[in-house]
Amino acid sequence: MQDTRMESFERRKTDDHLAEDAWSDSLRGTIIPDKGWTQHYDLVKEMGDCHASMGDYPRARQCYDRAAELAPDEAGPYVGLGVIHLQSGELDEAETAFRVACRLDPKSSKALCGLAMAAQRRGQDQRAFDGYLKTLEIDSDEMTALLGLFQVSCRMGSFGQIIRYLELYLEMHPGDLSVMFSLAALYRRDGRLQRSRELLERIMLLDPGHAEAQNLLEEIDHSRVESIDRRTTCLNPMG
C-alpha cells in the first residue's frame, strides 16, 4: 500500500514538473524572465493583463490559463479570457468565460459588465441594459458600464437610470468634463434646462475652449428666447 502511495506521489511530482517545463518552454524566446514568478498567481495574472492591454492575446491567454491553474477559484483569469474573446469577436466563448467568472464570484462587476458588453454586441439592448445596471449597482465607478448604459439608453430612448448613475459618478469625480457634458445633454433632453445650463457653465469655467459645451449653451439660450417670444405672442395676440 505504501509503495502504491509513493508511486502515486512520484507520478504527481512528475506531472507537476512536466507542466512547469511546458510553461517554461512557452517563455523561451520571449522577453519574459522565468525566475519563479510563474508560481505566483498575482504576478501571472498581472502579466496576462499587461499582454492583453498590448493586444498580444496568445501570450495573454497563456498567462490567464496558468493563473487559472494556480488559483482555480479566482474569477480574474476567466474575466481576462472573456475580454480576449470579446475583442476577437468570439461572443459565445466570451460569454462562457464571463459566466464561469460570475459563478466563481457573483459580485464580479467586471464579469457582469463583460456579459452586458457581449449582449450589446449581439444587439440585445434590454439584456445589455439590465447587465449594465447590475454592474453599476455593485460598482457605480465602473466607467465601461456607464458608457455602455449611455449607448444602450440612447438607442432605447430611456434615460432615467443613466442620469442617476452619471450623477453618482460625478459626485465621486467632480472634474470629469466628459461625464459632466453627457449629463448636461441628458438634462437638456429631459427638459431640465436650468440644471443643464449650470453644468455647462461649470464646464466653461474649467475649460473655456470647450466648443460642444458652448454650442449647447447657445442652443439652450436660443430655446429660451423662442419660448419667451411664444409666450409674449400668446399674451398679446394683436401685437
- Indicate whether 1 pLDDT > 80: no
- The CA–CA distances, whole Å, from 238 to 208, 228, 229, 234, 235 equal 43, 16, 14, 9, 9
55: alpha, beta or left? (left if phi > 0; alpha if psi -120 to 50)? left
What pLDDT, on a 0 to 100 scale, did the predictor assign at position 30?
A: 47
Look up residue 111 and give its three cell numbers.
464579469
For residues 97 and 206, give the distance between their C-alpha atoms in angstroms, rounded to a whole number.
42
For residues 135 and 59, give the distance between their C-alpha atoms in angstroms, rounded to a whole number.
28
- The CA–CA distances, whole Å, from 144 to 1, 81, 224 equal 57, 17, 35
Least trusted range by pLDDT, from 13-27, 168-182, 189-203, 217-231: 13-27
Least trusted range by pLDDT, from 28-32, 70-74, 111-115, 168-172: 28-32
**Which residues in 191-203 are b (16+ Cβ under 10 Å) and which e?**
eebeebbebbebb
**Across 106-110, average pLDDT:** 97
- Give the model confidence (pLDDT) of 67-96 as tens digits: 999 999 999 999 999 999 999 999 999 999
What pLDDT, on a 0 to 100 scale, did the predictor assign at position 9?
A: 33
Look up residue 16 and give its three cell numbers.
507537476
- The CA–CA distances, whole Å, from 98 to 49, 141, 221, 238 equal 16, 20, 47, 68
DSSP state, residue 30: S
Look up residue 113 and give its three cell numbers.
459588465
User: 37 and 67 in contact (C-beta within 8 Å)?
Assistant: no
Residue-range domain boundaries for the chain? 174-239
Identify the three-state secondary structure at position 174: coil
For domain 174-239, the CATH class is mainly alpha
- Work out the burial of residue 17: count CB atoms within 10 Å of its CB; fewer than 13 is exposed, 13-18 middle, 19 or more buried: exposed
User: 118 and 94 in contact (C-beta within 8 Å)?
Assistant: yes
- Against a cut of 0.75, is the pTM above it? no
Which run of H or E residues covers position 53? Answer: helix 41-53
- Give the mean pLDDT of the chain: 84
- Give the model confidence (pLDDT) of 119-146 as tens digits: 999 999 999 999 999 999 999 899 999 9
What pLDDT, on a 0 to 100 scale, did the predictor assign at position 148?
A: 95
